A and B are shown apart, each in its own frame.
Chain A
Amino acid sequence: MNWAGLYTVLSGVNRHSTAIGRIWLSVIFIFRIMVLVVAAESVWGDEKSAFTCNTQQPGCNSVCYDHFFPISHIRLWALQLILVTTPALLVAMHVAYQQHQEKKLLVLTGHADPKHMEEVKKHKMRIAGSLWWTYVCSVVFRLLFEAVFMYIFYMLYPGYQMMRLVKCEAYPCPNTVDCFISRPTEKTIFTVFMLVTSSVCIILNMAELVYLVVRACARRSQHHSNPSSGKGSFYGHKHSSEYKQNEINQLL
């Protein structure tokens, strides 16, 4: 299981997302995960081996590195990206559950031929009803995780800038020792880049949240003003949850 595996899993969710959701997913994969894998990991590759302290005291190097870098940027970004992409799986699970219900309905009504089953799998779910709530929760969790990680980064590495020199007094270092970090400018550039893309993702998530809420309100006001009109196509109507519930109720 690596980033490519995650990409395969999440591409499936893509089909049931809004347009903004798809843009968000592209930004995550291309500007964050891909940059992490092809560029950032090699910048931080020698972070410990090239961390040099001005002392010959054994152990001082390790202790100072550990003191100033409790968890490396790369690992934090990997955790952030995994946690941020995972709420989309809630939506995938809900869609799978709805598709399972539709298939059961087809079996009960006697339309269990392979063509109809394939159609259930392929057709795009409308984000309405309980799926809307699941989708909104997933977007809220994404926002939350992004914000939490940005805060953790700020707490651990104040100002997002990588220093060239850190002064270390931890035992067993004698008095105060100068320690030099490897590639600080390159690390600062990538930290700022990842920060900017993280902010872009937060903005996209907020836009998606607003869009979903506005759409739901518009749909509700349209429903109040014209309750008899069945908006959407024949397919949308046939697979809407109310229609399904009516059919199940009639059969049971």
Chain B
Amino acid sequence: MDWGTLQAVLGGVNKHSTSIGKIWLTVLFIFRIMILVVAAERVWGDEQQDFVCNTLQPGCKNVCYDQFFPISHIRLWALQLIFVSTPALLVAMHVAYTRHEKKRRFRNGEKIDIEELKNEKIHIRGPLWWTYTSSIFFRIVFEAVFMYVFYYMYDGYQMPRLVKCSAWPCPNTVDCFVSRPTEKTTFTIFMLAVSGICMMLNLAELCYLVIKICMKESRKTT
């Protein structure tokens, strides 16, 4: 079970999304997941090995690393991507349930064409509209929460070259040097920018859905 399987699972949801939703999914897979797997993981690959402290005291490096990096950027991004892509499964479950109900009605005697049922694009209206809107709302919330967590944990989005550590068993204060800080800062800013773009796409999709439903309601009343 890896990113490829997640892509297969979410690809199915794509069929029932709006156009903005499809763009969002593409941005997610190409600019975030793919960058994470092919580039970012290599940059952070030697994060602990090459974290060097100016001391011979055994254990000091481990403790300082743990103090300054409670959870690595890579793991946070992996969790963020998993949480952000999961609300789309709510929509997939709702669509599957709607199809199941239609099949049941077919079996109970109503005339519905099975082939048409399989290929039919489900329109986003009624309870499905609420499910879809909730899923976008949750996506936005998760994105915002993770962006805040990043900001809170790493005091801004920059990776320092040097950190000063005085945790036991380090003697007094010890200088520790982070591996590849500039490259890490570059990727952090890149992932932040793409995360911002995804949030804007989600907001745009939310506005689009709300406007569409308002226009439909006003057309019904007039």
Please state if A38 and B70 are interface contacts (CB–CB under 8 Å). no
> How far apart sit A53 and B48, CA to CA, in the bound complex (Å)?
16
Please state if A4 and B1 are interface contacts (CB–CB under 8 Å). yes
Please state if B1 and A52 are interface contacts (CB–CB under 8 Å). no
Please state if B58 and A33 are interface contacts (CB–CB under 8 Å). no
B78 to A: closest C-beta gap in Å: 5
> How far apart sit A50 and B57, CA to CA, in the bound complex (Å)?
14
Size of the B side of the interface (Cβ < 8 Å), in residues, is 35
B210: chain A residues at CB < 8 Å are none
Please state if A165 and B59 are interface contacts (CB–CB under 8 Å). yes
Known pairs A46-B48, A178-B59; A38 contacts B89 (CB<8 A): no
Residue A182 is within 8 A (CB to CB) of chain B in the complex = yes
Known pairs A43-B75, A185-B70, A189-B71; A34 contacts B2 (CB<8 A): yes
Known pairs A37-B1, A39-B78, A42-B74; A30 contacts B61 (CB<8 A): no
Closest chain B residue, CB of each to CB of A185:
B70
Please state if B61 and A234 are interface contacts (CB–CB under 8 Å). no
Residue B171 is within 8 A (CB to CB) of chain A in the complex = no
B131 to A: closest C-beta gap in Å: 14
Residue A175 is within 8 A (CB to CB) of chain B in the complex = no
Residue B208 is within 8 A (CB to CB) of chain A in the complex = no
B175 to A: closest C-beta gap in Å: 19
B66: chain A residues at CB < 8 Å are 164, 182-186
CB contact list, A1-50 vs B, under 8 A: 3-4, 6-7, 19, 22-23, 26, 29-31, 33-35, 37-39, 42-43, 46, 50
Please state if A50 and B62 are interface contacts (CB–CB under 8 Å). yes
Known pairs A30-B82, A38-B2, A189-B70; A52 contacts B61 (CB<8 A): yes
Contact of B58 among A180, A181, A235 (CB under 8 A): A180
A80 to B: closest C-beta gap in Å: 15
Size of the A side of the interface (Cβ < 8 Å), in residues, is 42
Residue B72 is within 8 A (CB to CB) of chain A in the complex = yes
Please state if A52 and B62 are interface contacts (CB–CB under 8 Å). yes
Number of A-B contacts (CB under 8 A): 107
B89: chain A residues at CB < 8 Å are 26, 30
Contact of A39 among B9, B79, B86, B107 (CB under 8 A): B79
B191 to A: closest C-beta gap in Å: 15
Please state if B72 and A33 are interface contacts (CB–CB under 8 Å). no
Residue B65 is within 8 A (CB to CB) of chain A in the complex = yes
> How far apart sit A19 and B75, CA to CA, in the bound complex (Å)?
31
Closest chain B residue, CB of each to CB of A186:
B71
Residue B6 is within 8 A (CB to CB) of chain A in the complex = yes
Contact of A50 among B48, B74, B86 (CB under 8 A): B48
Please state if B62 and A180 are interface contacts (CB–CB under 8 Å). yes
Residue A130 is within 8 A (CB to CB) of chain B in the complex = no
> How far apart sit A30 and B7, CA to CA, in the bound complex (Å)?
12
> How far apart sit A46 and B47, CA to CA, in the bound complex (Å)?
11
Q: Enumerate chain B interface residues (CB-CB to A < 8 A).
A: 1-6, 9, 41, 48-49, 57-59, 61-63, 65-66, 69-72, 74-75, 78-79, 82, 86, 89, 93, 97, 104, 107-108, 169
